[in-house]
């Protein structure tokens, strides 16, 4: 009877455990986790802090009871400290400080990531928070209810920074967002980042871009955040959201090879270099389907997929993780932004000859009430005409996240931009157009590509 031990009780770990129960009902599965919150939707933390989710317990994908009912054993509040891969033993410390050793036949690491702590003086001051785990959110929540802050600085204009800026604003807190890059949301085109900044400003936020935060200092009851060029502001609370780094100290104790950004190196079967040890989720590097090389891109969707593959293979399955396309979506106030595939610069770096065309239309026939403008950017290769990437921005009810998924499916199958017009997509005037916006946008790209070819011929 195979004994599988999984370290980490978040997306990757629980997905692996569930898959093992499906594939090998006679295997035993134990999930060991450092805190008391298995299978929580950490992507939902901003919505708990905003009050949109009124009880943190609702963030559980599954309750402890659900997990136990699936036949999965839980070792909560066990901090794994070492792996002995020769003896196949994991050492852990429980909540009482006692050391235990847990044997395994197969081990799956889903240790996740931790918030990146940038080099800023005063980053450890009280009132400065990070947001990654349930514990982080409890600390922020405590601050919100006991100290009633009226102002906050959010450092970082990525997904979590934007969602928290939104969340704190909903709480009635005056938010200043500070981003190091020239635009927020640098995972999409500058023009989309600008739209997001406008959305933030329309909701009363101060937005500062191109600012390197250097120092946080205590000034009475408040914190002063200082950066350059010429940035200084005071607030009651500071949130730092500048990315994640893989939590791989434990993996190192087993002699597991680390790669990009010190993430665990795995193959597409989610195997590490150490026999019988798999890894998945935010602690590993991720195969990129278009780039055909690994990248570090920690996402919940990916963690679920990789965990499932690791679980399947750990009990004798033969499945490859097919890779990421970097598909992502975020809602900021009324706006939603989604992307898949490569941005133009990424495509160029990867050796493609990218062409990007921008297109604007409506999410459904404009004559039907409630139509929202929708902007789409298509990136394709000028030589092969392959679709390389797509980005969409619109009102969050414009179904753009699932429209990006049509592109993601197309890129998965290596479609040319032109072939998107062959897809039989659904239409009814309240929900789309006879050519869905995704097809109008790809047709616009094809016209632009043809025009450029034509003018190149004319020049010759």
Q: Is 47 in the site for a second copy (CB under 8 A)?
A: yes
Question: Is cis: bond before 297, omega within 30 of 0?
Answer: no
Nearer to a second copy (CB atom), residue 90 or residue 284: 284
Least Å distance between CB 369 and a second copy?
6
Query: Least distance from C-beta 44 to a second copy, angstroms?
Result: 5
- The neighbour count for residue 69, using CB atoms within 10 Å, is 10
Q: Is 344 helix (H, G, I), strand (E, B) or coil?
A: helix
The neighbouring-strand residues paired with 115 are 244
Compute the least distance from the CB of residue 86 to a second copy, in Å. 35
Element holding 241 (H helix, E strand) = none
CB of 103 to a second copy, least distance (A): 30
Instruction: In whole angstroms, give the CA distance from residue 332 to residue 330.
Output: 7
Q: CB of residue 420 vs a second copy: minimum separation in angstroms? A: 9
147 counts as binding a second copy under rule CB under 8 A? no
Question: Cα–Cα distance between 13 and 314 in angstroms, integer?
Answer: 12
Q: How far is the CB of 12 from a second copy (least distance, A)?
A: 11
CB of 98 to a second copy, least distance (A): 34
CB nearer to a second copy: give 119 or 413: 413
Distance CA 224, CA 104 (A): 50
Cα gap 127→88, rounded to integer Å: 42
Write down the catalytic residue from 43, 69, 283, 446. 43
Report d(CA 252, CA 67) in Å as an integer: 29
Q: Which stretch binds a second copy (CB under 8 A): 30-38, 183-191, 203-211, 363-371?
A: 363-371
User: According to CB under 8 A, which residues from 7 to 46 bind a second copy?
Assistant: 11, 22, 41, 43-44
Q: Distance (Å, rounded) from C-alpha 131 to C-alpha 134?
A: 8
Q: Which of 87, 148, 322, 384 is close enough to bind a second copy by CB under 8 A?
A: 322
Longest dimension (CA), the chain: 78
- The answer to whether 88 touches 82, Cβ cutoff 8 Å, is no
Name which of residues 364 to 423 contact a second copy (CB under 8 A). 365-369, 396-397, 399, 401-406, 408-410, 412-413, 421-423
Strand partners, 377: 358, 391
Given the rule CB under 8 A, which of 51-59, 82-90, 102-110, 132-140 is the region that contacts a second copy? Answer: 51-59
Interacting residue with a second copy among 135, 255, 316, 434 (CB under 8 A) = 434
Nearer to a second copy, 125 or 431 (CB): 431
Rounded CA separation 181/155 (Å) = 11
- Could you tell me the two tokens for 287? 């195969």
3-state secondary structure 382-426: CCCCEEEEEEEEEECCCCHHHHHHHHHHHHHCCCECHHHHHCCCC
Q: 135 or 430, CB closer to a second copy?
A: 430
Instruction: Give the one residue of 80, 338, 378, 388 binding a second copy; rule: CB under 8 A.
Output: 338
Listed ranges 95-103, 117-125, 130-138, 430-438: which one lies at the site for a second copy (CB under 8 A): 430-438
Active site residue 43: yes
Nearer to a second copy, 381 or 436 (CB): 436
User: Taking the complex as a whole, how short is the minimal distance between the CB of residue 219 and a second copy, in angstroms?
Assistant: 36
362 in Cβ contact with 373 (< 8 Å)? yes
Which residues make Cβ contacts (< 8 Å) with residue 261, sequence separation at least 6?
Answer: 245, 246, 285, 296
Of 345 and 431, CB closest to a second copy: 431
Residue 410 phi, psi (nearest 5): -70, -45
Alpha-helical (H) ranges within 315-398 are 344-349
- 64: its two tokens: 């402890």
Q: Residue 306, Cα to own-chain centre: how many angstroms? A: 14
Tokens of 460: 């010759």
Residue nearer to a second copy on the CB measure, 28 or 41: 41
Report how far Cα 129 is from the mean position of its chain's Cα atoms: 19
- Indicate which single residue of 430, 452, 453, 456 sits in contact with a second copy (rule: CB under 8 A): 430
Using the contact rule CB under 8 A, the part of the chain among 174-182, 192-200, 225-233, 298-306 near a second copy is: 298-306
To a second copy, the closest distance from the beta carbon of 100 in angstroms equals 31
Nearer to a second copy, 19 or 106 (CB): 19
The only residue of 115, 151, 176, 327 in contact with a second copy, by rule CB under 8 A: 327
Decide if 54 contacts 345 (C-beta within 8 A). no
Catalytic residue positions, numbered: 43
Interface residues with a second copy (CB under 8 A)?
11, 22, 41, 43-44, 47, 52-53, 58-59, 61, 159, 289, 299-305, 308, 322-331, 336, 338, 340, 365-369, 396-397, 399, 401-406, 408-410, 412-413, 421-432, 434-436, 447, 450
């Amino acid at each position: 009877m195979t004994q599988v031990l999984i370290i980490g009780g978040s997306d990757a770990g629980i997905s692996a455990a569930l898959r093992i129960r499906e594939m090998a009902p006679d295997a035993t599965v134990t999930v060991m986790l450092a805190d008391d919150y298995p299978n929580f939707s950490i992507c939902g933390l901003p919505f708990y802090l905003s009050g949109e989710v009124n009880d943190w317990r609702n963030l559980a994908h599954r309750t402890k009871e659900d997990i136990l009912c699936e036949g999965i054993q839980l070792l909560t509040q066990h901090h794994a400290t070492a792996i002995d891969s020769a003896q196949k033993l994991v050492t852990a410390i429980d909540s009482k400080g006692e050391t235990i050793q847990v044997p395994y036949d197969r081990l799956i690491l889903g240790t996740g990531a931790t918030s990146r702590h940038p080099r800023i003086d005063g980053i450890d001051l009280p009132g400065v928070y990070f947001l990654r785990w349930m514990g982080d959110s409890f600390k922020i929540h405590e601050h919100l209810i006991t100290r009633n802050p009226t102002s906050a600085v959010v450092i970082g204009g990525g997904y979590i920074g934007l969602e928290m800026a939104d969340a704190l604003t909903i709480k009635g807190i005056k938010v200043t967002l500070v981003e190091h890059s020239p635009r927020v949301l640098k995972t999409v085109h500058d023009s989309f980042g600008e739209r997001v900044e406008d959305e933030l400003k329309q909701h009363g936020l101060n937005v500062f871009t191109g600012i390197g935060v250097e120092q946080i200092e205590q000034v009475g009851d408040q914190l002063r955040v200082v950066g350059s060029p010429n940035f200084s502001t005071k607030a009651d609370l500071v949130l730092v959201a500048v990315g994640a780094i893989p939590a791989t100290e434990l993996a190192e104790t087993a002699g597991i090879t680390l790669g990009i950004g010190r993430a665990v190196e795995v193959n597409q079967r989610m195997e590490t270099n150490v026999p019988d040890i798999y890894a998945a989720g935010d602690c590993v590097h991720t195969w990129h389907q278009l780039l055909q090389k690994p990248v570090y891109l920690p996402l919940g969707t990916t963690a679920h997929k990789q965990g499932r593959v690791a679980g399947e293979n750990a009990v004798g399955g033969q499945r490859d993780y097919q890779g990421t396309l970097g598909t992502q979506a975020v809602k900021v106030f009324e706006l939603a932004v989604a992307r898949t595939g490569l941005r133009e610069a990424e495509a160029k770096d990867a050796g493609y000859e990218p062409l990007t065309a921008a297109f604007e239309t409506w999410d459904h026939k404009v004559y039907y009430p409630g139509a929202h403008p929708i902007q789409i950017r298509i990136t394709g290769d000028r030589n092969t005409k392959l679709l390389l990437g797509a980005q969409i921005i619109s009102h969050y009810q414009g179904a753009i996240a699932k429209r990006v998924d049509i592109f993601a499916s197309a890129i998965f199958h290596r479609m040319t931009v032109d072939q998107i017009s062959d897809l039989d997509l659904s239409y009814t005037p309240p929900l789309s157009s006879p050519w869905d916006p995704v097809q109008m946008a790809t047709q616009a790209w094809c016209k632009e590509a043809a025009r450029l070819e034509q003018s190149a011929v004319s020049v010759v």
